[in-house]
A and B are shown apart, each in its own frame.
Chain A
Amino acid sequence: MDYLTVIQILDSALRLATPLLLTCLAGLFSERAGVVDIGLEAKLLAAAFLSGAVAHTTGSIWIGLGAGVAGSLAFSMLHGLASITFKGDQLISGVALNFLAAGLTVVIGQAWFKLGGRTPSLTPDERFSSWEPSFTEAMSHIPVIGPAADELIAGHTVLTYIALAAVPLSWWVLFRTRFGLRLRAVGENPSAVDTAGVSVVALRYAALVIAGVLCGLAGTYLASLAAGFVKDMSAGRGYIALAALIFAKWRPWYALYATLLFGLLEAIGNRYQSISVGDFVIPVQFMQALPYILTVIILAGFVGKAIPPRAGGQPYVKER
């Protein structure tokens, strides 16, 4: 394995980690506020579908991005309505939304485009182009640093950089602002927040709005990368992001590391589907299961106890 291969794998890892990171941060905001969000998958699908459909129709990925975020927000608000306003079970609401998104995207897609739930392929103008600044190109002939800069720093779409920027931003919002303090308090002890005269419901809705926007970005990223929507294209990324969230102990920086690790493992699995060690060939199934196996091992042995927000999963009912 030479240096360039390593760079290429890291590059691929970053691309694969981007949607996971955005989704994971979405889950982080939501769960920190005490709303368990199984429906991340639904938001990804809704956003991917709407951004693909609207970008094709209008010819602009930016309008598509807006539509994707709006679709994801709509699902987020539905989740809020069921689980905050009507105090329903958050898990059930999330699962229901997942089914709804999986079916609705295909049905509407079929009605609009008659392509079996697929959206038409997006042309280069209708997708995010990758950022190719002149300084990395100039650097590319420098040994060691050059290729790394050219592959890793440049060559990604704007959403990757937004995702990376969202990590310190999330940390700052959650741990250095009054809003963040209250948000975390709502997830730990909502009655204390209520006693202080701050609206629990409003804070939880605010968290879901942030989650909706982040998932909208992630879904649009998928549609832009694959140049269109295909049914069920999120392929379980919403659930993997949830796993990464536990892995990350509900902390933004750890979320970055966890999703990068998942991206890296998937990239390695893609590059080396079967590795032969002497006479023994490690089967591809093992490589594909590796992210999950490692999750269990690292979670059990290295991360320590992952303690979720205390009020997570419980609708807040005021005392009478």
Chain B
Amino acid sequence: MSFTKSLLGAAAALALTSGAALADPAIIFDLGGKFDKSFNEAAYNGAERWAAETGGTYRDLELQSDAQREQALRRFAENGFNPIVMTGFLWPTALETVAKDFPDTKFVVVDAVVDLPNVRSIIFSEHEGSYLVGIAAAYASEGDTVSFVGGMDVPLISKFACGYAQGFKSVKPEGKVIVNMTGTTPAAWNDPVKGGELTRAQIAEGSEVVFAAAGGTGLGVLQTAADEGVLSIGVDSNQNYLQPGSVLTSMVKRVDNAVYDSFAAGMDVPTGLEIWGVANGGVGAAMDEYNAELVSDEMKAALEDAEAKIISGEIMVHDYTTDDSCPAF
């Protein structure tokens, strides 16, 4: 009896000390994994940057299946991690349940919206960033046809396509944007062979710039574009380096900044909904040494001009997800 008591006491003491010692942040990566060269990897880079700059430590977890969401989140919350960041648009259900049970823990969700007092929701204006790369595509092409390869056919991907088409048509109103989706199942995110075939078909139809928003499929798109000697545009992370000299630019979502910012704020992380767009540097067209030769001064000027107009509100880029239609298609 006394032995059990002392065991319980020890366990309680351990729980207390661990609870007090741990106010470290934690991050949970979505399916796809933290080295996806794209969305999750950007989040990982943000967390690593925070760790390198502050010397702090954080815990991370890669989801292996959808069923783990709530369990993983609850365990992190129980262990006293604060704030807890998660990436991906499939989180709301799990987060709504868990966030109510831990009112003193701050949660940050990137790419989804959860309306609770202890949750910070960060979403990105992908349509604005896509608008910018659409302009870049218009200046890089000699003819009047460019194209888009999406992954799975979901509204979020159409949001990319719609912004891209609007940007392109703002420069070439009579131009043509070929929009293809790889498929209607999650397998569409990982089919580089089909992505390559779609790209070839688009090139055959006259496309000079191919924008890929398709996860692993996009790697096949960039590869085929490089093989066939046309330009491509990457997505989420800066993918310019993947095929140097062939990737015109990348539509970057600064997921890394979202994670870094949340980690740096620690337990005082602000809550509520935030929309990261061109105005606050949340999205943009990536410029670096790999695409410097492809970007003309004229293009650069047009991009800066469009950025300024989006910030001032002079250009309103239509968001596909608001009404499931696109004026530029």
Residue pair B192, A230 in contact (C-beta under 8 Å): yes
Knowing A12-B197, A16-B197, the reply to whether A230 touches B180 (Cβ < 8 A) is no
Residue pair B35, A110 in contact (C-beta under 8 Å): yes
Q: Which of these binds chain B: A135-143, A176-184, A267-275, A299-307?
A: A267-275
Q: CB-CB contacts of B203-247 with A at 8 A, as 1s and 0s?
A: 011000000000010011001000000000000000000110000
Q: CB-CB contacts of A208-250 with B at 8 A, as 1s and 0s?
A: 0000000000000010011110111101100000000000000
Residue pair A8, B33 in contact (C-beta under 8 Å): no
Knowing A233-B190, A270-B194, the reply to whether A121 touches B201 (Cβ < 8 A) is no
CA distance A118 to B159 in the complex (A): 27
Residue pair B192, A233 in contact (C-beta under 8 Å): yes
Q: Name B's interface SS.
A: helix
Residue pair B193, A222 in contact (C-beta under 8 Å): yes
Which of A116, A225, A227, A270 gathers the greatest number of chain B CB atoms within 10 Å? A116
A295 interface residue per 8 A CB criterion: no
Residue pair B181, A284 in contact (C-beta under 8 Å): yes
In the complex, which residue of chain A has the Cβ closest to the Cβ of B188?
Answer: A235
CA distance A263 to B191 in the complex (A): 15
B37 interface residue per 8 A CB criterion: yes
B142-189: which have CB < 8 Å to A?
A: 153, 179-181, 183-184, 187
In the complex, which residue of chain B has the Cβ closest to the Cβ of A232?
Answer: B190
What's the minimum C-beta distance from B325 to chain A, rounded to whole angstroms? Answer: 14
Residue pair B184, A285 in contact (C-beta under 8 Å): yes
With a cutoff of 8 Å between Cβ atoms, the chain A residues found around residue B223 in the complex are 121, 226-228
Residue pair A8, B35 in contact (C-beta under 8 Å): no
A115 interface residue per 8 A CB criterion: yes
Residue pair B184, A288 in contact (C-beta under 8 Å): yes
Residue pair A5, B37 in contact (C-beta under 8 Å): no
What's the minimum C-beta distance from B220 to chain A, rounded to whole angstroms? Answer: 5
Residue pair B242, A121 in contact (C-beta under 8 Å): yes
B196 interface residue per 8 A CB criterion: yes
Instruction: Please give the number of chain A residues whose Cβ is less than 8 angstroms from any Cβ of chain B in the complex.
Output: 32
B253 interface residue per 8 A CB criterion: no
B200 interface residue per 8 A CB criterion: yes
Residue pair A228, B36 in contact (C-beta under 8 Å): no
Residue pair B190, A230 in contact (C-beta under 8 Å): yes
Instruction: Please give the number of chain B residues whose Cβ is less than 8 angstroms from any Cβ of chain A in the complex.
Output: 33
With a cutoff of 8 Å between Cβ atoms, the chain B residues found around residue A284 in the complex are 153, 181, 184
CA distance A227 to B216 in the complex (A): 12
B34 interface residue per 8 A CB criterion: yes
With a cutoff of 8 Å between Cβ atoms, the chain A residues found around residue B183 in the complex are 288
CA distance A285 to B204 in the complex (A): 22
With a cutoff of 8 Å between Cβ atoms, the chain A residues found around residue B179 in the complex are 273
Residue pair A225, B193 in contact (C-beta under 8 Å): yes
The residue from A117, A233, A236, A270 contacting B201, defined by CB atoms under 8 A apart = A270
Residue pair B219, A228 in contact (C-beta under 8 Å): yes
Residue pair B33, A117 in contact (C-beta under 8 Å): yes
With a cutoff of 8 Å between Cβ atoms, the chain A residues found around residue B219 in the complex are 118, 121, 226-228, 230
B198 interface residue per 8 A CB criterion: yes
A114 interface residue per 8 A CB criterion: yes
A15 interface residue per 8 A CB criterion: yes
In the complex, which residue of chain A has the Cβ closest to the Cβ of B216?
Answer: A230
Residue pair B184, A270 in contact (C-beta under 8 Å): no
What's the minimum C-beta distance from B161 to chain A, rounded to whole angstroms? Answer: 12
Residue pair A226, B220 in contact (C-beta under 8 Å): yes
Q: CB-CB contacts of B269-305 with A at 8 A, as 1s and 0s?
A: 0000000000000000000000000000000000000
In the complex, which residue of chain A has the Cβ closest to the Cβ of B189?
Answer: A232
In the complex, which residue of chain B has the Cβ closest to the Cβ of A271?
Answer: B201
The residue from A8, A15, A273 contacting B180, defined by CB atoms under 8 A apart = A273
With a cutoff of 8 Å between Cβ atoms, the chain B residues found around residue A8 in the complex are 200-201, 204
Residue pair A232, B187 in contact (C-beta under 8 Å): yes
With a cutoff of 8 Å between Cβ atoms, the chain A residues found around residue B243 in the complex are 121
Residue pair A226, B201 in contact (C-beta under 8 Å): no
Knowing A12-B200, A226-B196, the reply to whether A118 touches B37 (Cβ < 8 A) is yes
What's the minimum C-beta distance from A157 to chain B, rounded to whole angstroms? Answer: 12
CA distance A114 to B219 in the complex (A): 17
Residue pair B35, A235 in contact (C-beta under 8 Å): no
The residue from A115, A228, A271 contacting B35, defined by CB atoms under 8 A apart = A115
CA distance A115 to B219 in the complex (A): 13
With a cutoff of 8 Å between Cβ atoms, the chain A residues found around residue B33 in the complex are 110, 116-117
CA distance A16 to B216 in the complex (A): 18
With a cutoff of 8 Å between Cβ atoms, the chain A residues found around residue B153 in the complex are 284-285
What's the minimum C-beta distance from B228 to chain A, rounded to whole angstroms? Answer: 12
In the complex, which residue of chain B has the Cβ closest to the Cβ of A235?
Answer: B191
With a cutoff of 8 Å between Cβ atoms, the chain B residues found around residue A121 in the complex are 219, 223, 242-243
In the complex, which residue of chain A has the Cβ closest to the Cβ of B203?
Answer: A8
What's the minimum C-beta distance from B179 to chain A, rounded to whole angstroms? Answer: 8
In the complex, which residue of chain B has the Cβ closest to the Cβ of A222?
Answer: B193
With a cutoff of 8 Å between Cβ atoms, the chain A residues found around residue B196 in the complex are 225-226
Which of A110, A227, A228 gathers the greatest number of chain B CB atoms within 10 Å? A227
Residue pair A233, B191 in contact (C-beta under 8 Å): yes
Q: A121-B242, A288-B183 are in contact. List 19 more A-B contacts (CB 8 A).
A: A8-B201, A15-B197, A16-B197, A116-B34, A116-B36, A222-B193, A225-B193, A226-B223, A227-B223, A230-B190, A230-B192, A232-B190, A266-B197, A270-B180, A270-B194, A270-B197, A273-B181, A285-B153, A288-B184
27 contacting pairs across A/B (C-beta < 8 A): A5-B204, A8-B200, A8-B201, A12-B200, A12-B201, A110-B35, A114-B35, A115-B35, A116-B33, A116-B35, A117-B35, A226-B193, A230-B220, A232-B190, A233-B192, A235-B193, A236-B187, A267-B201, A270-B180, A270-B194, A270-B197, A270-B198, A271-B205, A284-B181, A284-B184, A285-B184, A288-B184
Return the 7 tightest CB-CB contacts between A and B, nearest first: A116-B35, A226-B192, A230-B216, A235-B191, A116-B33, A232-B190, A227-B223
Interface of A with B (CB < 8 Å)? Answer: 5, 8, 12, 15-16, 19, 110, 114-118, 121, 222, 225-228, 230-233, 235-236, 266-267, 270-271, 273, 284-285, 288
